[in-house]
Amino acid sequence: MSTLPYERALVTGASTGIGAATSRVLAAERLEVLAVARREERLAALAAETGCRILAVDIRAADAMADAIADFKPQVVVNNAGVGHGITGLGGVDAGDIAEAIAINVTAPIQITAAAVAVMKREGLRGHVVNMGSISGLHTLVSSLYGAGKAAVHGFSQTLRVEVKGFPIRVTEICPGRVSSEFYDAAKGDKATLAKMASTGISELRPDDIASAILFALKAPLHVNISTIELLPTEQAVGGAMATPIPQL
């Protein structure tokens, strides 16, 4: 039996990084975990390690995800999968990259949540939706595309709480700063800038840190909804204003 007030959890982007770490933590808490990602070989290794169930699918496949959710009936949904296309700015990304970023970072999590919340309501389940936001969705940083997607996640998370009022469903948004992961390896943008951005020289957050934050929200007393968690490395801060001269102005 689970040590949490839930029995089943669906985690997207589970083949690596935060998603894999979260799957491990939830499996250790004796939840039945459905780990979702595209890379089947990595999922298989995770299943061998944790005993979780796996689903190798692109989260943009709305019908496949809806069918899996209807069958699995998750009480916890961790919308973690995402891409960093355009993190270097709009230069170096084309229309296809932009569409893919919005589809993966915004549309798919909303579709997954809609399917899961419908099941929770229909089955009378206690539920918890955890959306992976970013400090880029809360603060003005360097990327308009990535920031816009994560700002949409923030607005969605806040308003979803209004939609589920009257049901035992909690909603949490996790907003990390820099995390050591494969994020920059998979991102699309200016390659030289991506290479520079990939190394900060600081002690970044680890995927386990984010998994611990998720677990903290899940373990809160049932009358408590941890709405938003913003966490950064000690050596990272956001804020301030920029003033950049324009010679031809």
Phi/psi at 19 (nearest 5 deg)? -65, -45
Q: What is the pLDDT along the chain (249 residues), one digit of tens a residue?
A: 677 999 999 999 999 999 999 999 999 999 999 999 999 999 999 999 999 999 999 999 999 999 999 999 999 999 999 998 988 888 878 999 999 999 999 999 999 999 999 999 999 999 999 999 999 999 998 789 999 999 999 999 999 999 999 999 999 999 999 998 877 777 777 777 777 777 888 999 999 999 999 999 999 999 999 999 999 999 999 988 888 899 988
Tell me if 248 is assigned to some domain.
no
Tell me if 94 is assigned to some domain.
yes
Q: Identify the pLDDT of residue 1.
A: 66
Q: Which domain holds residue 100?
A: 8-231
Q: Identify the pLDDT of residue 2.
A: 75
Surface-to-core class of residue 102, CB atoms within 10 Å of its CB (0-12 exposed, 13-18 middle, 19+ buried): middle
Tell me if 215 is assigned to some domain.
yes
Tell me if 80 is assigned to some domain.
yes
Closest CA to 236 of 196, 179, 159: 179
Could you give the C-alpha distances from 168 to 57, 124, 181, 223, in angstroms and in order? 29, 9, 33, 9
Phi/psi at 223 (nearest 5 deg)? -85, 5
Judging by DSSP bridges, how do beta strands 127-132 and 169-176 pair with one another?
parallel
Q: Identify the pLDDT of residue 47.
A: 98
Tell me if 151 is assigned to some domain.
yes
How many domains would you assign to the chain?
1
Tell me if 133 is assigned to some domain.
yes
Letter string b/e over residues 211-239, b meaning 16 or more CB atoms within 10 A of that residue's CB = bebbbebbeeeeeeebebbbbbbeebeee
**Beta-bridge mates of residue 231:** 176
Alpha-carbon Rg for the chain, nearest whole angstrom, is 18
214-239: pLDDT as tens digits: 999 999 999 999 999 999 999 999 98
Closest CA to 137 of 69, 33, 230: 230
Closest CA to 106 of 59, 74, 64, 68: 59
Q: Identify the pLDDT of residue 71.
A: 98
The H or E element spanning position 73 is: none
Tell me if 105 is assigned to some domain.
yes
Q: Which residues are catalytic?
A: 146
Surface-to-core class of residue 134, CB atoms within 10 Å of its CB (0-12 exposed, 13-18 middle, 19+ buried): buried
133-164: pLDDT as tens digits: 999 999 998 789 999 999 999 999 999 999 99
Tell me if 82 is assigned to some domain.
yes
CATH number at residue 201: 3.40.50.720
The H or E element spanning position 176 is: strand 169-176
Locate 17 and state its tokens. Answer: 């990084």
